[in-house]
Chains A and B, each alone.
Chain A
Amino acid sequence: MSLVLDPPIRQEYEYVTKPAALRPADAAPPLAQRAWRQAWVRKTVILLVLAVVWELVARWQNNDLLLPGFLQTAQAFADGIINGELLDRVRISLAVLLQGYVAGIIAAFVLTALAASTRIGRDLLETLTSMFNPLPAIALLPLALLWFGLGKGSLIFVIVHAVLWPLALGAYAGFQSVPETLRMAGRNYGLSGLRLVLHILVPAALPSILSGLKIGWAFAWRTLIAAELVFGTTAGQGGLGWYIFQNRNELYTDKVFAGLAAVILIGLLVENVVFRPLETLTIRRWGMQR
């Protein structure tokens, strides 16, 4: 008898396949379970838990000057909204921020478009970003004040600096990771230079560009608030940073917290109302990001 194990030879079969029957839908899960599947519900729960912890710690500390509670801050925030002071400050800050942000985006686009289409442009971008990206925008503020004076000019200058380099770096990295095949397909149709950048590179690098825009937005916000904290008002028109600074001087700690809350809320709002839908409409729909 052989030691080799032979599998048995079996009968052959042929079957006629039937179309698969549709499975009846599952009964809807209970409401709580369905709600928990929604990201915003989970995030709201996290925020509520944080608020409760904050309130408890504040009550335990029992010192309004150092740590006002959540309710007290909410009260100050609501007052600020109702009497219009906080809204005014937000409006002033946002106006400056948007101007700087848009200028930074345009500058970044020009730089990366140059870098994508010419060799000297690439060298220029690489040199400039490695020089200026590590330089904190706020460190340029004294110089900006010297050049543009106490006012909007200086703020916009530092915001542009804060937005330009991370965005240019992100977009350029995105351009470089565009598949060679896609570039060749574009060139095949006679695209080159700016047309290749606009029709192929920008959309293909959109995931990196969007994340660059997000980082730029955050940097711009930080820089603006910090700059306003340093030199505050321009012709009596202070923004959110100035609001925080002023109220700290006057020991209205709850208003300081309300100002900080405004910064955070705007951040959340921009993320969820601008960037998230933008991602859903573009790179997620196109399968470039999960």
Chain B
Amino acid sequence: MTQATAQPELTPPPVRDERVRRGSTLARLFARPEMGALTGAIVIYIFFFAIAPAFRNAGSFSTVLYFSSTYGLLATPIALLMIGGEFDLSAGVAVTSAALTAALFSYEFTLNIWVGVVVALAVALAVGFLNGWIVVRTGIPSFLVTLGTFFMLQGLNLALTQTITNQVASPDISSLQGFSSAQKVFASSFTIGGVNFKISIVYWIVFMLIATWILLRTHIGNWIFSVGGSAPSARAVGVPVAKMKIGLFMAVGLMAWFAGMNLLFQFNTIQSGQGVGNEFVYIIAAVVGGCLLTGGYGSAVGAAIGAFIFGMTNQGIVLAGWNPDWFTFFEGALLLGAILLNTFIRRRAEAAK
């Protein structure tokens, strides 16, 4: 019977394991999930910078950032959700639902628009809760559950708007009280050096930073990784898996509300058919940014870079004056290229570590 080893008084000098080559710091850096995406972003930026003169000026860059931010706002919570092991296909139309709720509620009852904003928040959070609750209670894959809610919301958007207003777009709310203050909060813009930037860009970056901090520096982030990496293991050590998943879905709902408010106060009217198809852009942005489809790995910064890549690709093609018929083809090819580059870099970095 062996004795227990005595606790060393001093920490023993670190002994290097002779089986290990010292990995380079650079390789370790490149193994981070977002580095592949960053490389892809730099490559695409240089590419369009070279071939599209209009891409180079600050005004264009502001447009690219604005376009990226409309996707980036949702790509952040979708990335967190994917790290947590779930999908949300209803996120795209949820944005429209939130915006429509705010507009229609305030308009129909002739209330201050801020009341509609609050009601929209409650509705968006409720939809997120519903998604999460059904997923954890029934065990049905979230891909399927949210596909169902996607169709339901899409239909509700169209049907309720038509029923309530006899129109397919929400009515003009600019005459309602509170509109100008709400517009200042959700959709104002500011000028730097003569160039106009929309505030959604700032919100996008701020929310991304908050999400990154939560993910990497708090215990909640630890739980998110574990719930996506291996839910049974997480459950076994006492992580509240169901609450986490529901919370993640509600986070998506929260940002869908925010993006909806941004949209509403930017354009003042919402087309009820909007938002369909965006859910895949969010997922693509997250995957380009390093999120695994199987969960447990990824980065919010990466998703933001992914949204930025999407924005650069989309607007860059317009700015380069390419044939519009080929637009979607180029978009798909560039995105595929970005994902491949991302994967290639990460694999090399893993091997070199």
A-B interaction: no
A-to-B contact residues, CB < 8 Å: none
